[in-house]
Chains A and B, each alone.
Chain A
């Protein structure tokens, strides 16, 4: 069955195959999620769903898409699955019982509420800690978001075959370890939700740094964040969605038309997306008010302070430092410390920040992290210590991997003279 080729025969303005593809993108995650529960196997469910969509292409040719396509597709897929099992049962005796079991269940239509729960089950299964992180990401984008293997491979700049194998392996782990299809219990939830949020943020960050395919992945991550927020409005879900919206709000301002990097203090703030900022701040405030927030919410709060400031100089750096203090308590890491040091430099002066960065480098922390050296270089430059600035920019340049960042550092180095 093919949903991507435009049908030449249809005289309607939107060809049925195109309309069904749109439906696939918005509904396949939910439909698959329910079918996995009913059939007990992802591959079986997926195949049945594909057959149901192919059947729809025929069945809806004259009548058009029904008012409630989801129950139609779910029930058609169940019948297709039973047909398939009957066919296989002719060759394999162990299949008979499963088919009979399904037939007895066929008449009760899943309730709306159940379907929502199923969707959440599918997300937790795709992001299960037993799977490799790259497998979690690929599986979530394909099964939950309805992207094709080829689309995901293109976005992550890996070959189709590599990406396809990640998905095959991830599914094999789910089957072999018999990972239960359920939303984790309350005591497990924080940890398991953490894994889900990590997948969402990984997809977002891939989109943040990539030059060409970026915006697509960031949009997909935000879409996923919204879905999760709808299904499970936990504070950290709000925090992450808020963080992503606040970072995304600066997309138009953070690079030049030539693709050159523009740092926060140089950005044209009139280019920031005000709707995304308002929504991001709203979510962050709700998360903070819950008093059960975590690291994503604190990062969102830092982004919100920046978003509210009309200029770099008028930014409330004292508050940003306080938020970094909180972040270090929940999630201590050298990168967070580095960011705190930069905020302190903005608040109290470059020499205070430089002292902290030098202390970290002396401890052997972040010595291979280009941003530590470029931050140090920038503070030295502001203090007029030009030769030290040059050495640090050169060290950063030797470590950097992304092309726009490389161009940016090379430019800074040139400007020193």
Chain B
């Protein structure tokens, strides 16, 4: 059995932090991710780029239609995350266009953010503080 976990943060909250606060938060998050991984709990997960990078697909008059931005209507709630491996955004659109679930509710496609550099920096900081 799998559980999909959705993380939310208030817009601007991350930007409003001081650099030290930001580092402390990231270090704590990545450390816990490492802990989950070590215990085989972490099956799949990705960080999302900001809502401005989103594109929404919907079903209209028997056809696929698109609009840019996130799908932020109040009626529907986010129901799941599918981590899709695709060549580019249009390939991802094409794959999701064929998903039967699209006929019952919209999908938001968001490119994953590459956090490798941030993780590496965080590891260095943590290593340094444990040595010191």
Instruction: Name the distance in Å between B63's Cβ and chain A's nearest Cβ.
Output: 8
| Contacts of B41-76 to chain A: CB distance below 8 A | 52-55, 63-64, 66-69
**Is A159 a contact partner of B52 (Cβ separation < 8 A)?**
yes
A 74-108 to B, binary, CB cutoff 8 A, 1 in contact else 0: 00000000000000000000000000000000000
The answer to the question of B91 belonging to the interface, with a C-beta cut-off of 8 Å to chain A, is: yes
Q: Which residues of B contact A160 (CB under 8 A)?
A: 53, 55, 89, 111
**Is A161 a contact partner of B88 (Cβ separation < 8 A)?**
no
The answer to the question of B39 belonging to the interface, with a C-beta cut-off of 8 Å to chain A, is: no
**Is A159 a contact partner of B90 (Cβ separation < 8 A)?**
no
**Is A159 a contact partner of B68 (Cβ separation < 8 A)?**
yes
Q: Which residues of B contact A1 (CB under 8 A)?
A: 85-87
Interface residues of A: mostly helix, strand, loop or mixed?
A: helix
Q: Tell me the bound Cα distance from A47 to B99 in angstroms.
A: 14
Decide yes or no: A168 and B68 within 8 Å by CB, A159-B53, A160-B53 being known contacts.
Answer: no
Q: Tell me the bound Cα distance from A195 to B93 in angstroms.
A: 28
Q: Tell me the bound Cα distance from A368 to B120 in angstroms.
A: 53
| Contacts of A92-130 to chain B: CB distance below 8 A | none
The answer to the question of B95 belonging to the interface, with a C-beta cut-off of 8 Å to chain A, is: yes
The answer to the question of B15 belonging to the interface, with a C-beta cut-off of 8 Å to chain A, is: no
**Is A164 a contact partner of B55 (Cβ separation < 8 A)?**
yes
Q: Tell me the bound Cα distance from A167 to B90 in angstroms.
A: 8
Instruction: Name the distance in Å between A20's Cβ and chain B's nearest Cβ.
Output: 11
**Is B66 a contact partner of A168 (Cβ separation < 8 A)?**
yes
**Is A150 a contact partner of B68 (Cβ separation < 8 A)?**
no
Q: Tell me the bound Cα distance from A161 to B49 in angstroms.
A: 13
Q: Tell me the bound Cα distance from A400 to B89 in angstroms.
A: 34
**Is B53 a contact partner of A149 (Cβ separation < 8 A)?**
no
The answer to the question of B129 belonging to the interface, with a C-beta cut-off of 8 Å to chain A, is: no
The answer to the question of A148 belonging to the interface, with a C-beta cut-off of 8 Å to chain B, is: yes
Q: Which residues of B contact A142 (CB under 8 A)?
A: 88, 90
Q: Tell me the bound Cα distance from A160 to B53 in angstroms.
A: 7
Instruction: Name the distance in Å between B115's Cβ and chain A's nearest Cβ.
Output: 14
Residue among A50, A148, A159, A164 having the largest count of chain B Cβ atoms under 10 Å: A164
The answer to the question of A43 belonging to the interface, with a C-beta cut-off of 8 Å to chain B, is: yes
Decide yes or no: A149 and B69 within 8 Å by CB, A159-B52, A161-B53, A161-B55 being known contacts.
Answer: no
Decide yes or no: A165 and B111 within 8 Å by CB, A50-B87, A148-B87, A150-B88 being known contacts.
Answer: no
Q: Tell me the bound Cα distance from A142 to B63 in angstroms.
A: 23
Q: A46: nearest residue on chain B (CB-CB)?
A: B94
The answer to the question of A209 belonging to the interface, with a C-beta cut-off of 8 Å to chain B, is: no
Interface residues of B: mostly helix, strand, loop or mixed?
A: mixed
| Contacts of A1-21 to chain B: CB distance below 8 A | 1-3
**Is A3 a contact partner of B87 (Cβ separation < 8 A)?**
yes
**Is B90 a contact partner of A164 (Cβ separation < 8 A)?**
yes
Q: Which residues of A contact B91 (CB under 8 A)?
A: 46-47, 50, 149
Q: Which residues of A contact B95 (CB under 8 A)?
A: 47
Q: Which residues of A contact B54 (CB under 8 A)?
A: 161
Instruction: Name the distance in Å between B117's Cβ and chain A's nearest Cβ.
Output: 14
Instruction: Name the distance in Å between B60's Cβ and chain A's nearest Cβ.
Output: 12
Q: Which residues of A contact B89 (CB under 8 A)?
A: 148-150, 160-161, 163-164
B68 interface neighbour in A3, A43, A165, Cβ under 8 Å: A165
Q: Which residues of A contact B94 (CB under 8 A)?
A: 43, 46-47
Q: Which residues of B contact A150 (CB under 8 A)?
A: 88-89, 111
Q: Which residues of A contact B93 (CB under 8 A)?
A: 164, 168
The answer to the question of A162 belonging to the interface, with a C-beta cut-off of 8 Å to chain B, is: yes
Q: A138: nearest residue on chain B (CB-CB)?
A: B90
Instruction: Name the distance in Å between B62's Cβ and chain A's nearest Cβ.
Output: 12
Instruction: Name the distance in Å between A138's Cβ and chain B's nearest Cβ.
Output: 9
Q: Tell me the bound Cα distance from A142 to B91 in angstroms.
A: 11
Q: Which residues of B contact A162 (CB under 8 A)?
A: 68
**Is B88 a contact partner of A148 (Cβ separation < 8 A)?**
yes
Q: Tell me the bound Cα distance from A168 to B91 in angstroms.
A: 10
**Is A2 a contact partner of B85 (Cβ separation < 8 A)?**
yes
**Is B87 a contact partner of A168 (Cβ separation < 8 A)?**
no
Instruction: Name the distance in Å between B75's Cβ and chain A's nearest Cβ.
Output: 22
Q: Across chains A and B, which 3 residue pairs bring their CB atoms closest together, nearest first?
A: A148-B88, A161-B68, A161-B55
Chain A interface residues toward B at CB < 8 A: 1-3, 43, 46-47, 50, 142, 148-151, 159-165, 167-168, 172
Q: Can you list 14 A-B pairs with a CB-CB distance of less than 8 A?
A: A3-B87, A43-B94, A43-B97, A46-B94, A50-B87, A149-B90, A150-B88, A159-B53, A160-B89, A164-B66, A164-B89, A164-B93, A165-B68, A168-B66
Question: Apart from A1-B87, A46-B91, what are 16 other A-B pairs with CB-CB below 8 Å?
Answer: A47-B94, A50-B87, A142-B90, A149-B89, A151-B88, A159-B68, A160-B53, A161-B54, A161-B55, A161-B69, A162-B68, A164-B55, A164-B89, A164-B93, A165-B55, A167-B90
